[in-house]
Amino acid sequence: MNTNTGKVTLLSAGPGELDLLTLKAAKALAAADVVLLDDLANPDIVTLAPQARVIRVGKRGGCRSTPQAFIERMMRRYALKGLHVVRVKGGEALLFGRAGEELAALREAGVAVEIVNGISSGFAAAAGLGISLTHRRHCHGVSFVTAHTEDHGEPDWAALAATRTTLAIYMGMRRIGKIADALLASLPADTPAAVVQWAGGADERRLLTRLDRLADDAMKAGFESPAVILVGSAIGESVERVWGDGDANRDASPATHAGELLTDAAIAHAA
């Protein structure tokens, strides 16, 4: 290792709100010379790095994005100049954030790397719904999965359904219909499902429904990326929380009650 080089911190910015950052993340930002800012991170995060040069390196599905190879070259170049580079990633850096490629490129160049963990949007979505992703009454685990593979193919939805785990599906809104149809081949139509947009942020929106109505309900309600899709019987606990027995507001408008948007199907599930 070249001890005269700087270093790169792969920093997890969490789902949006700055108060969800770890103290370790705040310290890394305060010490940064260069910040490479992901498009999904809260842009106000740069206020925690007052001395740093900020370079925006947005990567969004379906949008013009900064090439990954270019990002890796910038990290190497600045670190080899002796600077502390903080690569800010939305959510958890090690989950669907291409951290593996960046780690390999930096290690090959002899650059020291530090990883700062954070809250993934899947966990933030579960918190917003008030559920456990691994409620032992319903499942024995959770599967985090991206909706498309590196070659733009589809995951093995039948195999994922067979795990009987809660499915937390990332980057799936553009193909939510195909996902629902594929899962319906293996799961019951009334399997609880949810979509949480901007999970953990001030603009968070939540949709509770069932698998056979997932795509239609999400489309009608105007849900779009960035959002997490959750599927599994554990999701039904959120319906019970909002419309549980003895709820005096059970006849209130679903669109406004407790900040949730429940469909007729979800209400029927809890009845």
The stretch 37-42 carries a mean pLDDT of 91
In this prediction, residues 116-126 reach a mean pLDDT of: 96
Domains 7-116 and 121-270 share a fold: no
Residue of 19, 24, 39, 59 marked active site: 59
In the set 89, 171, 212, 217, the catalytic residue is 171
More confident site: 228 or 242? 228
Q: What is the DSSP letter of 14?
A: B
Domains in the chain: boundaries: 7-116, 121-270
Residue 9's pLDDT band (boundaries 50, 70, 90)?
very high
Instruction: Please indicate whether residue 151 or residue 75 has the higher confidence score (pLDDT).
Output: 75
Whether 59 sits among the annotated catalytic residues: the reply is yes
Q: What counts of helices (H) and strands (E) characterise the chain?
A: 9, 11
Instruction: Kindly state the helix (H) or strand (E) to which residue 229 belongs, with its residue range.
Output: strand 227-231
- 81 band by pLDDT with thresholds 50, 70 and 90: very high
81: which 2 tokens? Answer: 């100049």
Q: Percent of the chain beyond pLDDT 90?
A: 76
Say which residue, 268 or 120, is predicted with more confidence: 120
Q: What pLDDT, on a 0 to 100 scale, did the predictor assign at position 266?
A: 54
Q: Is there a catalytic annotation at residue 181? A: no
pLDDT of residue 152: 73
Predicted pLDDT at 250 = 33
Q: Are 249 and 257 in contact (CB under 8 A)?
A: yes
CATH tag for 7-116 (out of 3.30.428.10, 3.40.720.10, 3.40.1010.10, 3.30.70.580): 3.40.1010.10
Confidence of residue 258 (pLDDT cuts 50, 70, 90): very low
What's the pLDDT at 225?
92
Name the token pair of 162.
């067979």
**From residue 60, how far is each of 106, 116, 218 by CA, in Å?**
23, 22, 20
Name 32's Cβ contacts closer than 8 Å, sequence gap at least 6: 9, 49, 51, 52, 84, 85, 86
**Tokens (6 digits) for 192:** 């609880």
Strand residue runs (E) in 63-215: 84-89, 112-116, 142-146, 166-170, 192-197, 205-210
Q: 162 in helix, strand or coil?
A: helix
**Is the pLDDT confidence value at 197 over 60?**
yes
**Looking at per-residue confidence, does 223 or 269 come out higher?**
223
pLDDT at residue 86 is higher than 70: yes
pTM summary value = 0.84
Catalytic residue (one of 38, 75, 173, 212): 38
Q: Report the range of poorest mean pLDDT among 107-121, 156-170, 226-240.
A: 226-240
The fourth-level CATH superfamily of domain 121-270 is Tetrapyrrole methylase, C-terminal domain (3.30.950.10)
Q: What average pLDDT is seen over the chain?
A: 87
**Can you give the pLDDT at residue 261?**
65
